[in-house]
Amino acid sequence: IILCLCGWLSTVVFYLFRCYFFEKKFGWHKKYNVPMNIEFLIHRYGELVMLLLGESVLSILIVSSINKVEYHVTFYAAIVSIVLLQYSHYKYQPHSPREHACRRSLRGSVTHYAIMIVYCHALVAVGTAYKMFLSTYEVEASLKNKDLRHLVT
């Protein structure tokens, strides 16, 4: 897994370095690369973000419910923050291929790709963090009740 991460990271750094420092002529990339369908790219990135946000909601919902105020505050804060993330993502994404960063310039396209991957990892981390918060309340409640069920899961 570490080698895959290093390979991806070196590729992105190589493209960013090449794009920002060595290639100054406009349109050079059109000679060597296959053109992208920007409308399809917008659609697929939208589906990816929707899938990751759905996974975050699912990971929050599968934690056992506890009758504590802190648990319910964290649960509802998690749901509201994920809904706000979804709203802000789809509100500020361009809906036309003409407005997209990949259409404007090569530098914008490579930068958008790198930032989008980091953004997707951050969405996974949000769901994981909320699940860890809720699981902590579950473990505390089971230790308080001397129930060892948390050791099995």
pLDDT in tens, 11-29: 888 877 877 776 666 666 6
Give me the mean pLDDT over the 36-49 stretch.
Answer: 88
**pLDDT over 80 (residue 134):** yes
- CA 58, 59, 60 angle in degrees (round to 5)? 90
- pLDDT at residue number 29: 65
Classify residue 22 by burial, with Cβ atoms within 10 Å: 0-12, 13-18, 19+: exposed
Q: What are 126's two structure tokens?
A: 């949000």
d(CA 116, CA 147): 43
CB contact at 8 A, 36 and 102: yes
Residue 151 has pLDDT above 70, yes or no: no
Instruction: Evaluate whether 71 touches 133 at the Cβ level (below 8 Å).
Output: no
